[in-house]
Amino acid sequence: MERRFDEELMQLKNRLLTMAGLAEQSVGKAIRALVDRDAAMAEKVIQEDALINQAEMEIEKNCLDLLARYQPEARDLRFIAMVFKIVNDLERVGDQAVNVSERTLDLLKEPLLKPLIDIPKMAELAQRMLKDALDAFVHQNADLAREVCRRDQEVDHLNDEVYHELLVFMTQDPRTITRAMDLILIGRHLERVADHATNIAEDVYYLVRGISMKHHIAGS
Amino acid sequence: MERRFDEELMQLKNRLLTMAGLAEQSVGKAIRALVDRDAAMAEKVIQEDALINQAEMEIEKNCLDLLARYQPEARDLRFIAMVFKIVNDLERVGDQAVNVSERTLDLLKEPLLKPLIDIPKMAELAQRMLKDALDAFVHQNADLAREVCRRDQEVDHLNDEVYHELLVFMTQDPRTITRAMDLILIGRHLERVADHATNIAEDVYYLVRGISMKHHIAGS
């Protein structure tokens, strides 16, 4: 019984990691579609979000099923509750990739406004944060979790830069307004991806250390 | 034992409703601060978000504690899992109210751009959706849950109108750009509040009917 349960927990973890991979890739593809001006790829991200949604529902069901069948205690219970929370964040990461893709399809109606530098950099950071937050979870690594949270400020900073740079475009030439707006929104969607990674990392920290880093990380 | 558990479930529900009230009020106050150009009120919303965050952590802990002590079955288990998810949405509603307040503080540095009509209307709709989503949960009312999800489109529609109206301002007079941007972002934050209400309502529907409305509501 015990061993069977451990196997099922392992399966749950693998399902979670598969879903995390999908979510992370969807962000990667969404940004590649933007940079390469590839409408087909953007459409693909939008379509494939259904897989992420499906994974969320299956994993949630899996969690409830494990709780009902094994009635796990303290540590395992918190692990399962954590998975239950993480899939929620991952599902929303998928939604952000969809949002980016929708903005991209909008942007493709007009010529390129400017070469993209900070936005791909933000995407890379956010993807990395997501990956590391999941690694921190799998290896119960509180230091890595804290490190992920710190990096959130870098993404926020880049996002501010993106915003102010594009504001200048808009102010100088009204013809750039719709495109600049789309790019500003894309910056915000990526910032949200980093926020989800941060949520996960905060929860991992709490799970491992038993004290919360959440809601007062800003000052660190 | 049974009766004790029922009492504790009732307490959990009440805590959830208290937290929902806080989240809903924070949106209301944030919009009042915007309409009345009241910086002190905006600051208050930002400060009081700590209470919502605190409530989230306490309720999560409460859920895990109930699972560990009573090892509830099917129906009660799903109820607790649902509370666990809802508090997450409510916490993010609080974050959106903070975002609105930050934009408001930014807006107060400049004169009023235009009288606000659609944004307060969006806020009212979103608050109502939140309230009804919680009512649907408490009374296990799938019809009301479905109704909440339908209303999400209304909010999206208003948000599109806000966006396009402000785009015209920006295009015609570059001096309005920063203010218009702030208002566009506020529109998006309110749209996100409605999305959280929709998430809750989708989960309620699933809980009551056992089939998912989620991820393919758009066509209904």
CATH of the domain at B31: 1.20.58.220
A71 inside domain: yes
B215 inside domain: no
Q: How many domains does chain A have?
A: 1
Q: Looking at residue A211, what is its pLDDT?
A: 77
CA dihedral A91, A96, A98, A104 (to 10 degrees): -170
Sort residue B37 into left (φ over 0), alpha (ψ -120 to 50) or beta: left
Q: What is the mean pLDDT of residues B121-134?
A: 97
Q: What is the mean pLDDT of residues B156-161?
A: 96
> B214 falls in which pLDDT band (50, 70, 90)?
low
List pLDDT tens digits, range A7-58. 999 999 999 999 999 999 999 999 999 999 999 999 999 999 999 999 999 9
Instruction: Identify whether the C-beta of residue B130 lies closer than 8 Å to the C-beta of residue B20.
Output: yes
Task: Kindly report the nearest CA distance between residue A71 and chain B, in angstroms.
Answer: 6
Q: Is B44 on the interface with A (CB under 8 A)?
A: no
Q: What is the mean pLDDT of residues B108-122?
A: 95
B205 inside domain: yes
B34: containing domain: 2-209
* Cβ-based contacts of A63 with chain B (< 8 Å): 81
Q: What is the mean pLDDT of residues A60-78?
A: 91
A220 inside domain: no
B214 inside domain: no
A216 inside domain: no
Torsions phi, psi for B169 (to 5 deg): -55, -50
> Alpha helices, DSSP H only, in chain B?
2-35, 39-70, 74-107, 118-138, 142-172, 177-209
Query: Distance between CA atoms of B147 and A96, rounded to whole angstroms?
Result: 25
pLDDT at residue B110 tops 90: yes
> A191 falls in which pLDDT band (50, 70, 90)?
very high
A219 inside domain: no
Put simply, whether the predicted model's pTM sits higher than 0.80 gets the answer yes
> A1 falls in which pLDDT band (50, 70, 90)?
low
Look-up of token digits 């009120």: B41
Task: Kindly report the nearest CA distance between residue A81 and chain B, in angstroms.
Answer: 8
Q: Looking at residue B58, what is its pLDDT?
A: 96
Neighbours of A79 (CB within 10 A): 19
A215 inside domain: no
- The partner residue sitting opposite B73, judged by closest CB among A68, A84, A178, is A68
**Would you tell me which residues 140-199 of chain B have a C-beta closer than 8 angstroms to some C-beta of chain A?**
167, 170-172, 174, 177-178, 181, 184-185, 188
**A181·B184 Cβ contact <8 A:** yes
Percent of chain B with pLDDT over 70: 96
**The dihedral of CA B9, B68, B92, A189: what is its sign?**
negative
* Cβ-based contacts of A77 with chain B (< 8 Å): 64, 67-68
Q: Looking at residue B220, what is its pLDDT?
A: 37
